[in-house]
Structure 1
Amino acid sequence: MIRDPAWKNPFTGAVIAGGHPQNPLGRRWIGFWSDGTNWVGLHGTPNPDSIGHAVSHGCVRMYNRDIEELFEKVQLGVPVIVVP
């Protein structure tokens, strides 16, 4: 769980700082899976029109206000079940 997470482009390695208005992770990150190299999680987005579309690398995008509220309600170790 990270507030204002930095984002690293998986193709170029370029980093967008946490809190930057163009950071694709938005204001909060809640990771729930990793194979040690790749991560998947719930996160916000600066582009609310992208929600509900396949535009990420496997993550679940949420409105910033919603991920911020969820972030305050969960803690590390909470089980996550994704149902298609």
Structure 2
Amino acid sequence: MKLHLNIKEQQLTLIEPGRTTRFSISTAANGAGEQTGSGCTPRGLHIIRAKIGAGLPENAVFIGRRFTGEIYSSALAQSNPGRDWILTRILWLSGCEPGVNRLGNVDSMRRYIYIHGTPETEPMGVPASHGCIRMRNNDLLTLFNRVSVGTPLLIEES
């Protein structure tokens, strides 16, 4: 099993024996890049380092990888304008290429790069995130249940 992410197409592909599943996603509005503080989506080979949120309800809200006890709603969004919503589940990524996306000022894990859920009002298929990979919550639940820690993910621009 492996994952492939195409930034240009804004698509994440799950490749399993005998089955391929494609998901529409949203990567960084700032484009591709690895530098700490860039707000960009890192390229290269990664693995899923951790799976966070198993058993929580859909639309569970996370801050700092911890469930806040909140469930996302339009009323919650109105009372927290400008908040970057991390919802439902987190797949925390770790880079595998020293100097490219691992260690120093390019470390994807230390940059807290995730695949995570987002409100239904956020667009898919267009770059709009702050560096992470956003997915529809129901798609993320499907992905979360089919991948394991250590699953490789290759992120490419095209």
Same fold (TM over 0.5): yes
Is the Cα contact below 8 Å between 2:61 and 2:85 reproduced in 1?
A: no
Is the Cα contact below 8 Å between 2:114 and 2:132 reproduced in 1?
A: yes
The structure that is strand-richer by fraction is 2
Question: Which residue of the partner structure matches residue 7 of structure 1?
Answer: 63
C-alpha separation in 1, matches of 2:139 and 2:110: 27
C-alpha separation in 1, matches of 2:85 and 2:155: 21
- Unmatched runs of 5 consecutive residues or more in structure 2: 1-50, 54-59, 78-83, 96-106
> Are residue 58 (structure 1) and residue 131 (structure 2) matched?
yes
After superposition, residues 1-84 of structure 1 pair within 5 angstroms as 1-3=51-53, 4=60, 6-8=62-64, 17=68, 19-21=70-72, 22=77, 24-33=85-94, 35=107, 37-84=110-157
TM-score (norm 2): 0.41
SS in structure 2 of the partner of residue 72 of structure 1: helix
Question: Alpha-carbon deviation of 1:18?
Answer: 5.4
C-alpha separation in 2, matches of 1:33 and 1:18: 26
C-alpha separation in 2, matches of 1:16 and 1:60: 19
The runs of at least 4 consecutive aligned structure 1 residues that moved more than 4 Å come to: none
Q: What amino acid sits opposite 2:63 in the alignment?
A: W
Aligned length: 78
Q: CA RMSD in A?
A: 2.7
Structure number with bigger Rg: 2
- Report sequence identity in percent: 28
C-alpha spacing 1:5/1:30, structure 2 compared with 1 (3 Å): farther
1:28-73 CA-partner distances (Å, limit 9, x unpaired) = 1101136353111211102443333433221110000000000000
